[in-house]
Amino acid sequence: MQRYKVKGKRRMVFKIQNGKGFIYALVAVFACLVLTCNFSLAATAQAKHYSELQLPPLPEIKLPKYERFVLQNGLVVYLMEDHELPLVNGTAFVRTGNRLEPLEKVGLAGFTGAVMRTGGTKKHSADELNEILEQRAASVEVGIGETSGSASFDALSEDLETVFGLFAEVMRSPVFAQGKLDLAKTQAKGGIARRNDDPDSIASREFKKLIYGKDSPYARTIEYATVDQVSREDLLKFYQQYFHPNNMILGIVGDFNAKKMRSLVQAKFGDWNRNPGIAKPKLPKVSPANTGGVFFVNQPQLTQSSVLIGHLGGRFDNPDYAALDVLNGVLNGFGGRLFNEVRSRQGLAYSVYGQWSPRYDYPGMFIAGGQTRSDATVQFVKALQAEIKRIQTQRVTAKELVFAKESTLNSFVFNFQNPNQTLSRLMRYEYYGYPADFLFRYQKAVAATTAADVQRVAREYLKPERIVTLVVGNQTAIQPPLTQLAAQVTPIDVTIPGLRPQAKN
């Protein structure tokens, strides 16, 4: 035996002194290999196919304890304690949305939400706000989307009072600094310039226009001209129209004492005057802009096509929503009809999907599509159409029904992964006027859905004769041509209005 030093540490290296020791070593290695092989064989013999596994039923989901109250000024507040981590976060939903902005000033709502946060408050400049929050690893954010506005905060429990105070400042006294608006407008123009870089983005944007209409609040797009129309005074007016305590729902979840939190909310928001004249905004009407047709966006640089087909859909509060969601399960995912037939058997798609996609307070869409080779575009569209018709005429099998229902019900638990997600859902239901137990009613309806229900809703809600087809691809490479789908194919020009061509070097 000899000893060696390696990097200052003593390591023992045993040298085999003779042939007899070498034989013993070989025997030992062989024995280890035999034991390992036997263990692997035993493990293989015990392994079962996933379909043979017996899994326990999903546990019943119960809502965590929460408190709901309303301040005298009309602010609705939800509190839900969660002491697992020393964190607190909150979100306020504001009854507004970019669907309420004027057509000539598309982008106004988004700018209002962004500059509320970036522009600072009457007490703190934007830089001061950022510094205070960064020192505490906290955040305050504001944004306005299609159908709602939201403001949120995240903080450590020990910093709650400070961060919540800043959150209240941003909500109640933003100054909308002109420089920050100018920056936001510059960034928006950069996004406009890049909006045709991705074919899927083109398809999604233009398909909404075909379904809702190019001037619909659910389809219109921000342009250079609409950005230039927005002023700081417009932001102030938009803010003053919608940001009032009796037009909001505030939810807070985390590591706090509910009694103390209630006092803090009262201290920061209780003296904010309500607006007695505010009313729920009149929502824009929705009707189908097209009830059929084939449309095409030529992108010569592409080697594949992005395809979308569909028509106007419905809302979550439709009594048949659960059955329509099971129908989605029959069509989609591994084991779904579209995957099995269009992708696996026919080999026509890189990705393929089809779903009834509702919205809370306006009609969504039924939409199907995917990506395919340029030379397979027509065949891909026909395959999608065939599967839509087949689910109307060919009743789903017992196996398909079980697969769709189980996948839908198993995914149900992900709606309640944490208290924050649960509270957000409760607030959203109140915001849109849905019952608090809506999701549980849906769960029971899914469990009760039959094969006959799936076929019935497929026949009632899917309209093959009204399907709008949009293809974004390379016109010369699409062979056979799209005229095999319809005698008339309508081209769509996606040239960006007002975009100046870059000078060549």
Give pLDDT tens digits for 112-143: 999 999 999 999 999 999 999 999 999 999 99
pLDDT at 301 over 80: yes
Angle, vertex CA 15, rays to CA 9 and CA 20, nearest 5: 155
Positive or negative, the CA dihedral 485, 486, 488, 490 is negative
Specify whether the CB–CB gap between 244 and 278 falls below 8 A: yes
Range 301-316 average pLDDT: 97
- Sorting pLDDT into bands at 50, 70 and 90, what band is 5? very low
Share of the chain above pLDDT 70, in %: 87
What's the pLDDT tens digit per position in 144-180? 999 999 999 999 999 999 999 999 999 999 999 999 9
pTM: 0.86
Angle between helices 160-172 and 258-269 (to 10 degrees): 30
Range 407-427 average pLDDT: 86
> Nearest 5°: phi and psi at 75?
-70, 120
Share of the chain above pLDDT 90, in %: 80
Specify whether the CB–CB gap between 445 and 325 falls below 8 A: no
Specify whether the CB–CB gap between 362 and 286 falls below 8 A: yes
pLDDT at 21 over 60: no
- Nearest CA to 210 out of 310, 300, 285, 283 is that of 310
What's the pLDDT tens digit per position in 347-392? 999 899 999 999 999 999 999 999 999 999 999 999 999 999 999 9
Torsion on CA atoms 381, 387, 390, 394, rounded to nearest 10 = 170
Chain-wide mean pLDDT for the chain? 90
What's the pLDDT tens digit per position in 329-341? 999 988 899 999 9
Task: Report DSSP letters for 248-275, one per residue.
Answer: EEEEEEESS-HHHHHHHHHHHHTTSPP-
- Sorting pLDDT into bands at 50, 70 and 90, what band is 16? very low
What is the structure's pLDDT at 280?
A: 83
pLDDT at 64 over 90: no
- Residue entry with tokens 């729920």: 280
Range 238-260 average pLDDT: 97
- Sorting pLDDT into bands at 50, 70 and 90, what band is 279? confident
User: Which residues, at least 6 apart from 84, have a Cβ–Cβ distance to it below 8 Å?
Assistant: 255
- Residue entry with tokens 């959203």: 428
What is the structure's pLDDT at 27?
A: 47
Range 292-315 average pLDDT: 97
How many Cβ atoms from other residues are within 10 Å of residue 220's Cβ? 19
What is the structure's pLDDT at 263?
A: 98
What's the pLDDT tens digit per position in 313-326? 999 999 999 999 99
Beta bridge partners of 315: 359
- Sorting pLDDT into bands at 50, 70 and 90, what band is 412? confident
